[in-house]
Chains A and B, each alone.
Chain A
Amino acid sequence: DAGITQSPRHKVTETGTPVTLRCHQTENHRYMYWYRQDPGHGLRLIHYSYGVKDTDKGEVSDGYSVSRSKTEDFLLTLESATSSQTSVYFCATRDSRNYGYTFGSGTRLTVV
């Protein structure tokens, strides 16, 4: 979707290094989400935000942290990447005025 940009689109990193993924939106949506997708698991929620500086954990938050210092950006950080965090990461947003969620195109992260 043109309103959501995830960066980088692809990244290969080494075990133990910090990694930050960025989700940028131009829709002024209040809610933002980070999901990961792995074979056999579907999409699992990592963290979400319901406003600037307001974040909460999802079902698979261990090893991840997030920050939202302004409405348009939601950052996902892997403090010390592990091979189990190799995955495709999707960002999503939602406007408080309607019920539709919009997903980004994803970031494919490989930890070697």
Chain B
Amino acid sequence: QVQLQESGPGLVKPSETLSLSCSVSGGSFSGYYWTWIRQPAGKGLEWIGRVSARGSTNYNPSLKSRVTMSVDTSKNQFSLKLTSVTAADTAVYYCAREEDQLRTYDSWGHGTLVTVSS
């Protein structure tokens, strides 16, 4: 059973860069897209983007200018960088696995709260 675990700072200052990693255990990287999804408190889910095992990426057009995702299969990790953060980026950030054929998010991390504040 694959398990995903987010890690990174819980507090980021405005205008700085949010950096998160997701560790993957118990599964293969190939055949999946590795995804970041966020959820502000009391609000809905927002797809941030995804990265394939080969490193190809797709980003939410509304965030594209500030987002970079990468994958490190040797470490069984993938990562998210979001630049120039504001209070509007405060949210629970989830990493998830999207199955390539079925397009289902079949595994999720528990989520990590990132607060943007000085």
User: Are chains A and B native binding partners rather than an unrelated pairing?
Assistant: no
- A interface residue numbers (CB < 8 A to B): none
